[in-house]
Chain A
Amino acid sequence: MLDNLIWGYVYPNESEIQWSILIVLYPYITGLVAGAFIASSLYHVFGKNEIKPVARFALLTALSFLLVAMLPLLVHLGRPERGIEIMFTPHLTSAMSGFGYIFSFYLIIVVLEIWLSFREDIVKKALSSHGWKELLYSSLALFSFDISEKALHDDEKFARKLAIIGIPSAAFLHGYVGFIFGGIKANPWWSTPLMPIIFLMSAIVSGIALLILLYIAAMKIRKHAIDHKCLQSLAHYLWIFLILDVTLELLEIISMKYASREDIDIINRLLSDKIGFTFWGVQLTLGILIPFILLLMVNFIKKRDTLKMIMISISCIFVVIGVFAMRWNVVIGGQEISKSLVGTLTYVPVFFSQEGVLPAIIIFMLPFIILRVVTAILPPWKDMEEETQKLK
């Protein structure tokens, strides 16, 4: 059976794929975090008021995904109990060693940002509720109940400063994930200086698309009308970042093909055979080309908000799938070519195993559950529902 999965000559130690679907999930989840955060800072930093209805919801989304971002890595380790050593004794020449710190720093920023933007709500709740709820919200408010105009104004100023730090750190968090792959000179499919920025662009794209989908879903569940101005504005940003994303992705392929170095034969085989469908079909056509056209049409169609909403939703579903395919093509694709440059392997996902599809599905469900809990404690719905109608 093994022989059918291997073509050409691969080094004997390469018969097993080392990084499985969990490692595909890891950049996917961190990407969603970075994207959702950057979407929220469109309002918090750049003052795009049309994004306001989802700005705080985007922060909660970022937090929910951030809390599980570490999990796929940890589950994948051969010795998970030693994982913490990355924090205690980081080996600084390793691109991976900074992960714990960058992750923690970013977590602090996101939590602070959420606290500041929800503080007024928290204090009001603490003052108006009784029993354990009062205790919960009072402790969330850190027993500081000053919501005078001046205090709120200071909050806002500080939140804005934080968001300004937040953008480069979100970019760093994910660009850095790209560098984990881009810095591996042994692998011709990974080793490119474009990798961090490609990761970042696709992260923003996937984060905005997820945010749009979650927003539409939340409004449908809460039976509330959608703020089409906000939706179309998000879709517009999605479209712009899609263009940046596809430019970089194509630039990488084009320069590889044009330079035609020693590794071009194996790269060509990878692109035509191993990941041919997931790359050209899912990542580029389904994930970028079709959403690009749909979103372009959204820009031109006048009125007909429901139709636009359907088109935007379809685009976002495709984008989210396409970016997952992109992570897959990088992580799995890079391991499906042998470092001998004259052979390929095939990754066959297993369902039930420590590194199988099942734990991946479970891990990917977690952020949605966390988001449900977080939004129950800190409801962001007011922002979305202020100006729109309750549907009957």
Chain B
Amino acid sequence: MDISRREFTKIGCKIIIGATAGTTIVESLITNSIAAENSPVKGGYNWEEHFWGYVVDTRKCIGCGRCANACKLENHVPFDEEVYRTWIERYRVKKTSLETREEEVVIDSPDGGIEGFVDDIPAEEIKKAFFVPKICNHCDNPPCVQVCPVGATYTTKDGVVLVDYEYCIGCRYCIQGCPYGARYFNTEKGTADKCTWCYHRITKGLLPACVQACPTGARKFGDMLDKDSEVNKIIDEERINLLKPDLGTKPKVFYIGLDREVK
């Protein structure tokens, strides 16, 4: 291969310029990312400007299980283990004679409701039935954060309760402390694990996977700092309820149409 001196110089110059420019660009990217880590604004997301809330309209849930399925897919929650970041409960109140007045309630959540539900009680025996989607309440006063002995679980500025998998010692005290059964043990990581409200999605302006997947709008997610958000409208206008409000955990999942049987 014959290369003239002129051409050789040209290629040489290109390499030198390229290398210099390349390192400068890489360097500036690194500096930027370090700066971004230290500032509250990350990739355009400022966690001080948001405070997330979640609404479940139990009247709309049809128990299709798409939410629970989407959650496992999105967050790599093992399908072959009995662990769930979100699940659907089915409540069926059976008919009883008027004399006894004692209600028989059958509650189930086979496989978290991922595969939907089978009618194993004849319709004529049922007085009323409904589905209740469950998810971490991301409590304002979270008992799981309170009991963590090393502070590996924490509340973000935008109101999401997360687990630091690099720090959790796996004592499972938080799993005991959660009154809602929302936490589980991640056998692969050896740490506690839970719903993050798809933090990796919501900080990019996307919806949590379960909300995205819901075909009926039974699950709603939004910013409580935004006056016009759907979540705020519902909280302002509807009669809402919380799960186990007497425990003082101050959940941020708000329920519409919550029956007294729901625990």
Contact = CB atoms under 8 A, between A and B. Distances in A.
Interface of A: 8-16, 18-19, 73, 76-80, 82-83, 85-86, 89-91, 93-97, 99, 180, 183-187, 335, 338-343
B167 A19 contact: no
A184 B112 CA distance: 25
Contacts of B173: 94, 96, 180
Contact of B149 (A15, A91, A186, A338): A91
Nearest to B187: A78
Given A13-B182, A18-B185, A86 B176 contact: no
A186 B143 contact: yes
Given A97-B150, A339-B180, 6 more contacts: A79-B190, A82-B168, A90-B149, A96-B147, A339-B178, A341-B263
B107 A342 contact: yes
Contacts of B9: none
Nearest to B165: A79
18 contacts: A8-B107, A13-B82, A16-B82, A16-B185, A18-B176, A77-B169, A78-B168, A78-B172, A79-B169, A80-B169, A82-B168, A83-B169, A91-B149, A94-B146, A99-B149, A184-B143, A335-B176, A343-B107
The 3 closest A-B pairs by CB, nearest first: A78-B170, A11-B181, A78-B190
A177 to B, nearest CB: 13
A91 B170 contact: no
B169 A13 contact: no
A80 B191 CA distance: 11
A338 B57 CA distance: 25
Nearest to B189: A78
Nearest to B110: A12
A93 B146 contact: yes
B150 A12 contact: no
Interface string B35-69: 00000000000000000000000000000000000
Interface residues of B, number: 45
A187 B176 contact: yes
B194 to A, nearest CB: 9
B176 to A, nearest CB: 6
A9 B108 CA distance: 6
A340 B170 contact: no
B254 interface: no
B255 interface: no
Interface string B147-184: 11111000000000000000111111101111111111
A335 to B, nearest CB: 8
A50 B189 CA distance: 55
Contacts of B171: 73, 76-78, 96
Nearest to A10: B181
Given A13-B184, A78-B191, A184 B177 contact: yes
Nearest to A96: B149
Interface in B76-125: 82-84, 87, 89, 105, 107-109, 111-112
Contacts of A96: 147, 149, 171, 173
Contact of A94 (B82, B89, B148): B148
